[in-house]
């Protein structure tokens, strides 16, 4: 908070942030995408870490639907992310999302 106790107004999202928000917001319950897939679909392949930064900073996004390329849930995210994914019908085995072979 700046001096005086009045918070800075939220900044307008950058074009990259807007693209990530659009991609992640479009994920339906039960769908998962990797950070790399979100980055590529947002028009910035190779920017998976930047996707993670957007998910940390933008409230209200279904962040739990975005997973590492390995499919294995991060230890720090798992206590919250796993029940949310399971509730949406995503199969999890040994802390890894199981994508059926016929899934597109």
The one-digit pLDDT tens for each residue of the chain (104 residues) are: 444 455 555 678 999 999 999 999 999 999 999 999 999 999 999 999 999 999 999 989 999 999 999 999 999 999 999 999 999 999 998 888 886 555 44
For position 7, what pLDDT does the model report? Answer: 55
- The helix/strand/coil state of 3 is coil
Tally of CB atoms within 10 A around 73: 21
Q: What is the pLDDT of residue 1?
A: 42
| Strand-pair category, 33-34 with 66-67 | parallel
- Domains along the chain? 15-98 (1.10.10.10)
pTM over 0.85: no
**What distance in Å separates the CA atoms of residue 82 and residue 39, rounded to the nearest whole number?**
22
């Amino acid at each position: 908070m700046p001096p005086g106790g009045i918070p800075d107004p939220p900044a307008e999202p950058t074009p990259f942030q807007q693209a990530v928000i659009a991609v992640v917001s479009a994920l339906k319950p039960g769908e998962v995408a990797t950070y790399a897939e979100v980055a590529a679909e947002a028009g910035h392949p190779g920017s998976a870490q930047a996707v993670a930064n957007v998910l940390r900073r933008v409230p209200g996004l279904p962040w739990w639907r975005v997973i590492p390329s390995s499919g294995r849930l991060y230890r720090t995210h798992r206590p919250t992310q796993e029940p949310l994914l399971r509730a949406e019908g995503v199969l999890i085995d040994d802390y890894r999302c199981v994508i059926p072979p016929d899934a597109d």
